[in-house]
Amino acid sequence: MTSVELIPETSAAEQLVADALAIEASPDEAARVSGSVPLWFHTFALGADVYTPGVARDHGYRLGSLDLSRFEGKSVLDVGTFDGFYSFLAERRGATRVVGLDNEQYVDWVDARFGVTLEGGAGFRAIADLMGSRVEYHRMDALDARDLNEQFDVALCFGILHRVTDPVSLLQTLADVLTPGGEVVLETYGSRLAADTPAIEVRESGDVYKRDEFVYWGFPAEALRRLGAIVGLNEVEVVDEVEIDGHPRILAVLR
């Protein structure tokens, strides 16, 4: 099948991110796993200089907030995990329990953008098997996280808040599954509105990517602060604001 959009070459920047989770498989195993999935979202350093050709770009700015002190001895929930890079990183960096959730709607996103038929969870399972990981995976919508009947010290929410029609409900769900003193590490589309503007940008269909109809919002810092306060996450620390592929992003920790 001819791709609607070409799968980009793996960049040196993404390889540097992947090196934070170097797997060190044998050359044969690295080549086998890389070729076993028709499209990778995350770039993984499989070993023997083999990297999966992940389509996600410029995630390096997240790593500074994901050190040992954030994860060691903690329980972690990773919503929208996709191939699971951050779930496996949390496990590698000392988390005692990690649960990854994804509703696998990305199967349609991959088909629309790249013309590739992808089995949900394929990349996650391939990496989990290769690493002998104990990360627990659920095909589940992030809004159903309460159904786990479990609480977590850290919730990771990367690239999801701008894709839900009701961001308050998502934040409330995450707040409800945190342990006392827990925190949400969140990355989403930012805004070119002034940081102190109590407003949310409304995106048009295809505004960010031509064949992506599910980016609804852009969040200035003050909007995130007010959304957090609505659900009882009253401390919002903006860690970084960057521009990726011509679009603003914001990284924050909500407690």
Q: Identify the structural domains of the chain with CATH numbers, from first to last.
A: 60-254 (3.40.50.150)
The whole-number pLDDT of residue 211 equals 64
Mean pLDDT of 223-239: 97
Inter-residue contact 81 to 87 (CB < 8 Å)? yes
**Does residue 46 sit in helix, strand or coil?**
strand
The whole-number pLDDT of residue 129 equals 98
**Does residue 249 sit in helix, strand or coil?**
strand
**Residue 196 DSSP symbol:** T
> 11 or 85: which carries more pLDDT confidence?
85
Q: What is the pLDDT of residues 153-205, one digit of tens each?
A: 999 999 999 999 999 999 999 999 999 999 999 999 999 999 999 999 998 87
Q: How far apart are CA 186 and CA 180, in angstroms?
A: 18
Q: Is the pLDDT of residue 2 over 80?
A: no
- Listed residue (227, 231, 236) closest to 255, CA to CA: 236
Q: What is the mean pLDDT of the chain?
A: 94
Q: What is the pLDDT of residues 69-80, one digit of tens each?
A: 999 999 999 999
Please report the beta strands in 25-177, taking only residues with DSSP state E, as ranges in sequence order: 45-47, 50-51, 75-79, 97-102, 136-139, 152-158
> CA 239: distance to chain centroid?
16
The whole-number pLDDT of residue 1 equals 45
4-18, 109-123, 205-219: the lowest-pLDDT one: 205-219
Q: Strand 247-254's sheet: what is its strand order? A: 136-139, 97-102, 75-79, 152-158, 178-189, 247-254, 236-244
Q: What is the pLDDT of residues 25-55, one digit of tens each?
A: 999 999 999 999 999 999 999 999 999 999 9
Judge residue 122's burial from the number of C-beta atoms within 10 Å of its C-beta, 0-12 exposed, 13-18 middle, 19 or more buried. Answer: middle
Helix/strand/coil percentages in the chain, nearest 5 = 35, 25, 40
- Which pTM does this prediction carry? 0.95
